[in-house]
Each structure stands twice: as structure tokens, then as C-alpha cells.
Amino acid sequence: MPQAPRRLVLALVAGALSLSLFVPVGSVSAQPRVELPDFSELVERVGPAVVNIRVSEKVRGGVSINGIPEEMLEQFRRFGVPVPNQRRGAPRGGDDDDGPMRKGVGSGFILSSDGYVMTNAHVVGSADEVIVTLTDKRELKAKIIGSDQRSDVAVVKIEATGLPVVKIGDSSKAKVGEWVMAIGSPFGLENTVTAGIISAKQRDTGDLLPLIQTDVAINPGNSGGPLVNLKGEVIGINSQIYSQSGGYMGISFSIPIDEAMRVADQLRAGGRVVRGFLGVLPDDLSKEVAESLKLPKAAGAVVRQVTEGSPADKGGVEGGDVITKVDGKPVEKAADLRRLIAAVKPGQKATLQVWRRGAFKDLVITIGEDERSKRATNADPDAGDKSPNPAATLGLRLGDLSDAQRKEAKVKAGVRVESASGVAAKAGLREGDIILSVDNVEVSTVKQFQAQVAKADKGKAPLNLVVKRDDMVSFVLIKPSR
């Protein structure tokens, strides 16, 4: 390089350095200084109220897929672990009370000093034994107070007093981008702390609840543990991850604590969750359809079908209506309608704003009760049952199929399983199954089912049920109680 240009370059560099030394103080202080949070104080404050939960359950009714129990497969599916496709949807048969034990691990957090603990429903399932381990290493047996599969929230109770408790926050005030922390027992490693930020809110990955998405490292065993903000408040329950390998891949989901506490309060009060029922088949509204209907914006739930005799039918809802509000709360999509209706107390009136033939119209509907909420999830169906109810002795609550349901399921006869517990659950039956026949006799109504079961000789062979689940038909054997 020639001498003159080299001197010019050096002069320019020196000038830039001299300018950087004389930046006004005010301009530096105007830029806020961002520091990474220190979670150590939060861990000391919240950690003692986080517990490890171990469950054990006798695997009854054989295996489901390639020797893997159905209950374990459900855990795999929730955490994204690939499972075999062979006969994945089929109910399993048999009732082997001497089978192997299923063991599982999860997390939870203490709601009250007298021992109420919140966790996920999929953590406790229908466990025969639940053991809660506190941070002081005490191990206490827990009783399942209530478990709600649709929200994936459960409450268990341990006999202890003076326990440390968490502080409940307001998940509606959580913001995308804010720091959060999780405490739990991934892979059984107790008191493990991970941190990240809220990535999104209102994710429609749950049945009823809009979930909080984070990038906090969550793995199997973290389920049921708290999601904590920088104020030390619990704003969610860690519940799911998105994964193609079974391990953490940067996306995890938590149940908003506002919704979870509503469920927990009902579980503590009565062991079950009561939800409202409208009786429509809703669908999302596309932009093209909204424009064709001359709606102001593409928001609302299109009514594809109205169930005959339902609250919606009685209240004047019509197919093709677009429901835009429930009691003044906006309905952006079908999932919003389901959640808002579920939150209405059965018997209470709700005002629906619908868009019909180019104009808004208000309809006042008396909300019914969701059939799926009419049983206590922790109750023994045989306990206290004085009436001769053959289905109840099997742990079944059944419902007749409407013409629309038969058409949708593509069956000519059958009864729908509304809930299954006891020997029915052990045999693999679950909500939504359709029982087509009992001991080779076709059944079209619950009354026919009851009559056929009553004829069975309880001391001999088990009942042979033909059951349809989705598009698969299977045989299920049930041994009635003697």
C-alpha cells in the first residue's frame, strides 16, 4: 500500500476512536440496560411448594399395541413419542387383575397448606396408588380428589398441615416475550429448574383451554409442574410438548392457571366439573364465506348443524347462523364458542349474537348441561347404587344414539358410551365408543342393552361386546361383578 493512503486510513481510524470517547453521557443513559434475570430467588421462594408425584397402576385387560399398555401409549402420545400404528384405535379385551404394574412420574404444586395439590389429569390417570414426595423428602400417599380429562387438570390430597404453598398469578396478564420458569421432575430428576420466554398465547392445542406456548425445556416428568413468572406467581401448569423424537424440541405448552383454578375449585367442591351445553356443530369462518355473507369481519363460528331438542334448537339457533358473541364476549372461531359455552352454568341463560341473512340478531338461550360432566370422575359407579342398573355394575354410563349420531358413525344400531370406569374401563372401553351388540344380540337402545346384560349368567363366561371406535370394530370381553 502506498504511504499516503495508509496515513489516510490511520487518520480515519483515529478520528473514529476519538469520537467514540466523547459520546454525550445523556445519549448513553437514554438506552435502557437489559440484564438477564436471576432465577435463584424465585427458586428459593417457589421450590418448596413443588412436589414429585409417582403413580402405580395394575395393567388390566392385557396390552394394546405391540405389548405396550394403552395407558403408557397415552403418555407417549402426549409427549410426541412415535407409537406403532397397528390397531392403534382398537379397544383391548380381557380383564387380567394379575397383570404387571404401570409406573409413572410427574410433578405438582401445593395449593393449600392442608395438602391439596394440583397436577395434570394424565399424570394420575386411574392410578391405584399416588405417592407425593415433598422437598424435605417426606413421602405421603395421596387421594385423587378429582380428575378432569378434557382440561387435563387434577387435584390430589395428602394428609399434612403447615405446608408451603404457591402464589397464584393472573395468566390473562402474561405477555408474549416475558421470562418464565418451570420447576418439576423431568425423567424423575426432582427439583429441576428450566427457564425461557412465553412464545405465544391462546394456542388451540387443547380440547377446551387455549394453552400458553413457551420455549422452556419441558420433558416427560415435568407434567403437572408450575410455570412461574418473575414475580414468583404460578401462571400455568406444564402439560404438553411438541416433539418428533419424544424429547424437548423447543416448544412446550402450559394450561393457563386462571382456567385451571376454575376446574380445581369444582373438583375440590364436588369431584367433577360441570360444563354448559348448547347443541350445535360449529366450524371456523373463512374470509371468503364472511365476505359472501357480508359480515363486517371474518370472525365467528358457523353453525353447521343444530341437534334436535337441544338448547340451541329450543332457543331458535338455525343452521348457517354465524355466532359472533356469547354474553358480549367475542367469538373469533369455533374453539372460542365451545369454551365460552362450557363456562356457562347449566340452567343459566346466555345471549348469543348471531349474524343471519345480513343482520345481527340476539338469541336468549337456556344452556343445558354437557352429558360428559354428569359424573364424578373419581367416584366408584357401584358405590351406593341401590337400583338394579346392569350398565352401572359394569362401570358404564350409556346414551341412546340420535339419528344424526348414527349417520355420522355410519351404524344402524348401537348405544354410545358416555363414561367408563370399573370393569368397563379395565377392559378398555372409553367415552365415545359405540357398543353394537352384547353376546351376539344387536342393541339399539340403552334399555335393550340393560335387558341383555341382565340375562347374562355372571358366574360363567364374560360378556362379549362388539365395539366400534372411529372406523374400527373390535371384540371386548367384560366380566360382570358377581
Q: Which helix (H) or strand (E) holds 264?
A: helix 257-270
Given the residues 107, 147, 223, 243, the one annotated as active site: 223
For residues 199 and 330, what is the distance between their CA atoms, to the nearest angstrom? Answer: 24
Phi, psi dihedrals of residue 419, rounded to the nearest 5°: -160, 150
Q: Are 431 and 420 in contact (CB under 8 A)?
A: yes
pTM above 0.75? no
Q: How remote is the C-alpha of 37 from its chain's centroid?
A: 31
**152 tagged catalytic:** yes
Enter the C-alpha cell of residue 27: 445519549
Mean of pLDDT values over 384-397: 62
* Residue-wise pLDDT tens digits, 300-345: 999 988 988 899 999 999 989 999 999 999 999 888 899 899 989 9
For the chain, how long is the longest CA-to-CA vector?
A: 110
For residues 62 and 418, what is the distance between their CA atoms, to the nearest angstrom? Answer: 23
**373 tagged catalytic:** no
Neighbouring C-beta atoms of residue 380, cutoff 10 Å: 11
pLDDT at residue number 80: 47
CA angle in degrees (0–180, nearest 5) for 114-259-105: 60
**362 tagged catalytic:** no
Q: Which helix (H) or strand (E) holds 74?
A: helix 70-78
Helical residues (DSSP H) of 316-402, grouped into ranges: 334-342, 390-393
Higher pLDDT, 79 or 399: 399
Q: For the ranges 116-125, 142-151, 242-251, which has the lowest average pLDDT?
A: 242-251
Sketch out the chain's domains with CATH numbers.
35-59+100-271 (2.40.10.120), 276-369 (2.30.42.10), 389-478 (2.30.42.10)
DSSP class of residue 100 equals P
Q: Are 468 and 433 in contact (CB under 8 A)?
A: yes
The residues that bridge with 141 in the sheet, in sequence order, are 131
For residue 241, CA distances in Å to 93, 149, 213, 335, 339 come to 31, 17, 9, 20, 22
3-state SS record for 272-318: CCCCEECCEEEEECCHHHHHHCCCCCCCCEEEEEECCCCHHHHHCCC
What's the whole-number average pLDDT of the chain?
Answer: 80
List Cβ neighbours of 99 (8 Å cut-off, separation of 6 or more). 58, 59, 60, 61, 62
Confidence of residue 458 (pLDDT cuts 50, 70, 90): low
Phi, psi dihedrals of residue 341, rounded to the nearest 5°: -70, -40
List Cβ neighbours of 125 (8 Å cut-off, separation of 6 or more). 55, 57, 71, 74, 104, 147
Mean of pLDDT values over 160-168: 94
Enter the C-alpha cell of residue 312: 340451541
Given the residues 122, 171, 239, 419, the one annotated as active site: 122
pLDDT at residue number 92: 52
* Residue-wise pLDDT tens digits, 462-479: 888 889 988 788 888 887
